[in-house]
Amino acid sequence: MSTTNTVPKLLAQVKHVVLVLSGKGGVGKSSVTTQVALTLSLKGYNVGVLDIDLTGPSLPRMFGAETKQVHQSANGWVPVSIYHDDKSPFGSISLMSLGLLISDRGSSIVWRGPKKTAMIRQFMSDVAWTSGNSSEMLDYLIIDTPPGTSDEHIAIAEELRYATALDGAIIVTTPQQVATADVRKEINFCKKVNFDILGVVENMSGFICPHCADCTDIFLRGGGKALSSSLDLKFLGEIPIDPTFVEMIELQKSSESSLLDQYQNSKLYPIVSQI
Ligand code: ADP
């Protein structure tokens, strides 16, 4: 537990902090985090992405940054730059993840709570988000969390307790998961730690056929909307399953255009930019 009631140094450099949460793994929380970051960058905002899924960090792979390293500067850890071009109208994207700090990327992380808490505290106080472009503050910090309500959630709640930049949390669910107790637990957790819930996103809501671009409802649809209205939460939107998104992530190294360019031309960008 944090013993001071001060805001971590990092947050003084950030205008908005948004957490991405889900009751279960595999519902697309990291994909939604990635898409929200790409969308904000395409809209011209400078974005930082913090991955606090310590035991299963997947954002380095999502952003094609698996071989990149975080560096230490006089100001603290310099996150990995995913996109930065002063001449482009797009905002920068930088990423911090435990996956970028450990040398053996294939090894599993088995840490007890206190070590996880210490790591998250260090993420919040020691990352120099504006380094490299020091005149500009970060517009958005998107924090990807592990599924459920774990040590990492409790640690980040403590760190963000006094942060006025905290906008709140986005809850990601799928049509199949929407009615389960896990989603409600997540919502209860937010209430307990005073995180505002920005709204619910239903991911994997229908399937975009790569051949005809028609959207088919493979699973039930509309549960996210129903859940939101029953709990008086904002429904932010539905993201369909798009196989080209998986291709985009998997084929980044062999592709000539950047992830940002590819995402701008994808079918998901116009959908997520409405969220
Ligand atoms: P989580 O973070 O909740 O564990 P991920 O974001 O890692 O889930 O998603 C699990 C898998 O599903 C990944 O391979 C991801 O690329 C894929 N996926 C998630 N959402 C979509 C989507 N809307 N369209 C296509 N694939 C998706």
pLDDT digits (tens, 9 = 90+) for 170-195: 999 998 776 678 888 999 999 999 99
Encode 93-139 in three state secondary structure: EEEEEHHHCCCCCCCCCCCCHHHHHHHHHHHHHHECCCCCCCCCCEE
Q: pLDDT per residue over 48-60, tens digit each?
A: 999 999 998 999 9
Query: How many Å lie between the centroid of ligand 1 and the Cα of residue 151?
Result: 23
d(CA 19, CA 262): 25
Please calculate the CA angle 200-31-102 and round it to the nearest 5 degrees.
125
Q: Does 252 have pLDDT greater than 90? A: no
Q: pLDDT per residue over 107-129, tens digit each?
A: 777 788 899 999 999 999 899 88
Report whether 167 contacts 45 (CB < 8 A).
no
Percent of the residues in the chain that have a pLDDT greater than 70, as a whole number: 90
Report whether 152 contacts 144 (CB < 8 A).
no
CATH code for 9-272?
A: 3.40.50.300
pLDDT for the residue numbered 211:
75
Q: Does 103 have pLDDT greater than 80? A: no
Ligand-binding site membership of 209 (annotated): yes
Query: How many Å lie between the centroid of ligand 1 and the Cα of residue 28?
Result: 4
pLDDT for the residue numbered 2:
46
pLDDT for the residue numbered 10:
66
Burial 148-163 (b: 16+ CB within 10 A, else e): bbbbbbbbbbbbbeeb
Nearest ligand 1 atom, CA 249? 16
Q: pLDDT per residue over 7-33, tens digit each?
A: 676 677 899 999 999 999 999 999 999
**Average per-residue pLDDT in the chain?**
87
The pair phi, psi for residue 148, each rounded to 5°, is 80, -155
Ligand-binding site membership of 215 (annotated): no
d(CA 130, CA 14): 9
